[in-house]
């Protein structure tokens, strides 16, 4: 079995390869290591190999791991929340995370703004858009982006920096590209009017190539770094959201 360090090197090689194919600079594509369901030791192993950005999807699980890792003295990790957000979890998220990539409604933005501790910098926000239009997936519609964006821009403790999307889980590459390209177009138009907009979070283990070709500035990789996810307690799997599939 390969180590996390080897897996990270392999993923970085792939990013370089796809960046070259798309005539993009590799420095413009960040790697988010998605550590949901993975224990603290695995995160520390990735940290030791140089990884500093981590993504988590379940607020309670993440809170425990982040507090433990911070108490061990690791303070230069950037924590990204990428899962569906329930109202009763916004306080944990506002207190523990640096970036939220899965904001998809104003109600949640209001709570995050109110609950962001005053001693912390504004919470960086990406709006998640349901680019595959699958009913079970998180994310707002394309029509809703502007209204959510203007609320976030008006909130003192939030800072809008970009957009996030999850493509359909399909082997049809052209379908994935079409979904990514539509969000890229919206990203480019927002970016031209707002200097804070810099992040387009697209791509997972199965669709990195398409994402990088469509201008992704951050790919979110779990399986290719940490191996397949195991869910020991099946009751913790959200019944309706398949964001973690793949």
> Residues 6 or more apart from 131 whose CB is under 8 A from it?
139, 165, 166, 167, 179, 180, 182, 183
Dist CA 24 CA 18 (whole Å) = 8
Applying CB under 6 A, does 54 fall inside the site for ligand PLP? no
Cβ proximity to ligand PLP: between 62 and 82 the closer is 82
Which secondary structure element, helix H or strand E, spans residue 60, and what is its range? Answer: helix 59-71
Cβ proximity to ligand PLP: between 175 and 194 the closer is 175
Q: Which stretch binds ligand PLP (CB under 6 A): 116-124, 142-150, 188-196, 220-228?
A: 220-228
**Alpha-carbon torsion 114, 119, 121, 124, what sign?**
negative
Q: How far is the CB of 193 from ligand PLP (least distance, A)?
A: 26
Q: Which stretch binds ligand PLP (CB under 6 A): 61-69, 90-98, 148-156, 222-230?
A: 222-230
Cβ proximity to ligand PLP: between 186 and 220 the closer is 220
Q: Which stretch binds ligand PLP (CB under 6 A): 3-11, 116-124, 186-194, 238-246?
A: 238-246
Which secondary structure element, helix H or strand E, spans residue 24, and what is its range? Answer: none
Dist CA 136 CA 158 (whole Å) = 27
Please report how the helices 106-115 and 145-154 are oriented relative to each other, as an axis angle in degrees rounded to 10.
20
Cβ proximity to ligand PLP: between 3 and 150 the closer is 3
Applying CB under 6 A, does 78 fall inside the site for ligand PLP? no
Residue 161: strand, helix, or coil: strand
Q: Which stretch binds ligand PLP (CB under 6 A): 21-29, 42-50, 151-159, 202-210?
A: 202-210
- The answer to whether 134 and 98 have CB atoms below 8 angstroms apart is no
For the chain, report the end-to-end CA distance as a whole number of angstroms.
20
The interface with ligand PLP within residues 119-178 (CB under 6 A) comprises 166
Applying CB under 6 A, does 243 fall inside the site for ligand PLP? yes
Count of residues near ligand PLP by CB under 6 A = 17
Applying CB under 6 A, does 205 fall inside the site for ligand PLP? yes
Which pair of structure tokens corresponds to residue 79?
A: 């924590």
Residue whose tokens read 């224990």: 39
Which pair of structure tokens corresponds to residue 73?
A: 């003295």
Applying CB under 6 A, does 222 fall inside the site for ligand PLP? yes
- Give the residues lining the site for ligand PLP (CB under 6 A): 34, 36, 57, 82-83, 166, 204-206, 220-224, 243-244, 246
């Amino acid at each position: 079995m390969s180590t996390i360090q080897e897996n990270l090197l392999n993923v970085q090689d792939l990013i370089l390869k796809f960046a070259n194919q798309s005539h993009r600079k590799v420095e413009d594509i960040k790697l988010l290591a998605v550590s949901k369901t993975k224990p603290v030791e695995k995160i520390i192993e990735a940290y030791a190999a140089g990884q500093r950005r981590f993504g988590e999807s379940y607020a309670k699980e993440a809170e425990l791991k982040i507090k433990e890792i911070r108490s061990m003295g690791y303070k230069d990790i950037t924590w990204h929340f990428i899962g569906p957000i329930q109202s009763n979890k916004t306080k944990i998220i506002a207190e523990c995370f640096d970036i939220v990539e899965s904001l998809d409604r104003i109600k949640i933005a209001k709570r995050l703004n109110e609950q962001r501790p005053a001693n912390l910098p504004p919470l960086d926000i990406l709006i998640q858009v349901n680019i595959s239009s699958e009913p079970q997936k998180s994310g707002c519609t394309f029509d809703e982006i502007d209204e959510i964006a203007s609320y976030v821009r008006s909130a003192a403790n939030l800072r809008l920096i970009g957009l996030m999307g999850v493509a359909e889980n399909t082997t049809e590459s052209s379908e994935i590209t079409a979904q990514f390209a539509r969000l890229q177009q919206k990203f480019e138009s927002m970016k031209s009017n707002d200097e804070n907009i810099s992040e387009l979070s697209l791509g997972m283990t199965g669709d990195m190539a398409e994402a990088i070709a469509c201008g992704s500035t951050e790919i979110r990789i779990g399986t290719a770094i940490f191996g397949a996810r195991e869910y020991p307690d099946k009751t913790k799997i959200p019944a309706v959201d398949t964001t973690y599939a793949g």
